Amino acid sequence: MKRRLFIKKSIVLGAFPFITSNLIARNRSDKNIVDKPFNLNYAPHFGMFKNNAGEDLIDQIQYMYDRGFRALEDNGMKNRSVSTQNKISSKMASLNMVMGVFVAHKIYWREPNLTSGNKELQREFLENIKESIPVAKRVNARWMTVVPGYVDLSKEMAYQTANVIESLRRACDLLESQELTMVLEPLNWWSNHAGQF
């Protein structure tokens, strides 16, 4: 027996199971990627698939659709240009996709705003809500995320709650007539959003 021939055959035979299993797995995964939509409106956001679909937002929407998603969430929608919002809306309409939530206002991550009862901060919040209404109409959104902001350690929790409720009540007055819904996002105090109301 020739040693070189033996080694070559051993390498080929030893690698065979790995090569074939990889090909079988690849074929199976390709078959699983079909245009079958999910039963629920799961809403990924921009950036989740940029390594697969590229940086272009419209290409990302198409990729989401091709993978079975029929909804989109975009926290930063309000801050995008009107032309970008229109392009996103047009693409989603052509695919019969639903716009999920977007953030409707400036969120205070480190200082109290709605909890404080500060009338100037409440006015700012309500102005942000007003500005979000045409955005929602433009992108066919029905829901907006609202985060009450940081707790006010100088006030009892009952007063903070009353302040937040008052701001939310006024925001409801603006949104109800437009048939838009605020989504009050419950943030996890213990894992990644410490200090949020």
Give the pLDDT confidence score for residue 185 in this predicted structure: 87
Nearest C-alpha neighbor of 60 from the set 88, 101, 98, 94: 88
CB-CB contact of 23 with 57 (8 Å): no
Nearest C-alpha neighbor of 7 from the set 174, 114, 15: 15
Q: For 103, which DSSP code?
A: E
Three-state SS at 180 = coil
Give the pLDDT confidence score for residue 20 in this predicted structure: 55
Stated pTM of the model: 0.79
- Is it the case that residue 148 has pLDDT exceeding 70? yes
Q: Which residue has the tokens 């009540």?
A: 169
pLDDT tens digits, one per residue of 15-46: 656 565 555 555 555 555 656 899 999 999 99
Compute how many other C-beta atoms are within 10 angstroms of the C-beta atom of residue 34. Answer: 10
CA distance 163 to 159: 6
Q: For the chain, how many residues are written?
A: 197
